[in-house]
Amino acid sequence: MGTLLDSIVYTSRNDPATLPLRTGLRFLSILFGAGVKARTALVRSGVLSTGHAPCRIVSVGALAAGGTGKTPVAIMTARLLLRAGHRVAVVSRGYRRESSGVRVVSDFSGVLLSPREAGDEPHLIASALPGVPVVVGERRVDAAMLAYERFRPNVILLDDGFQHIRLHRDIDVVTLDSRHPFANGFLLPRGILREPREALARARVALFTRFD
């Protein structure tokens, strides 16, 4: 995925041969951006409801698609919270998993699902954090409520949750690739941004990754 995105992101703006492709992708990016803005407006106006969990929620996410180090940062954050004496559970969507609905990937006893059932990243998080419950679900609100009701954490760590604004969170941590944090500045699919740069105003912490 990274190679394909990089080839699109860094296509020369001065190459006439790529002009039709760049024009088409830019038009699609405008449509994508309009959809993002419309969804945000609907949430802020209350037309789309926002869920609240009965505990603190810390989200670790990204502004750009592709690898920005979200998973290692999520694992690091969970360990820091554990060292501070918090009871932690992790909630993730479970991207590309073969199961559906809300599933418990791991509980206090260990990992319960395979990578195919849980998704690669949630399974990796569960394996790296023994004793920390990990729950996946397309609807993060439902997954967070199940995590709270079953495991009673006082902090839920929301993995890759920056764009999931329908679940209230107390802190947003956003990872940015230090080599090209905003790439070419375009939204998907012309670039790799999921939201405009202005969305960083929602974040409490911007964490630069991939430093030498």
pLDDT at residue 183 in the model: 83
Question: Helix, strand or coil for residue 130?
Answer: coil
Query: Mean pLDDT, to the nearest integer, of 122-151?
Result: 97
Distances (CA, A) of 134 to 55, 92, 100, 117, 144: 16, 8, 15, 13, 10
Query: Which is more confident, 27 or 98?
Result: 98
Q: What are the backbone dihedrals phi and psi of residue 14, each rounded to the nearest 5 degrees, phi first?
A: -100, 5
pLDDT at residue 88 in the model: 98
Query: Which is more confident, 165 or 15?
Result: 165
User: Structure pTM?
Assistant: 0.88
For residue range 89-120, list pLDDT tens digits in order.
999 999 999 999 999 999 999 999 999 999 99
pLDDT at residue 117 in the model: 98
Identity of the amino acid at 68? T
The whole-chain average pLDDT of the chain stands at: 91
Helices (H), the chain: 2-9, 19-45, 70-83, 115-118, 120-128, 140-151
55 CB contacts (<8 Å, ≥6 apart)? 148, 153, 154, 155, 156
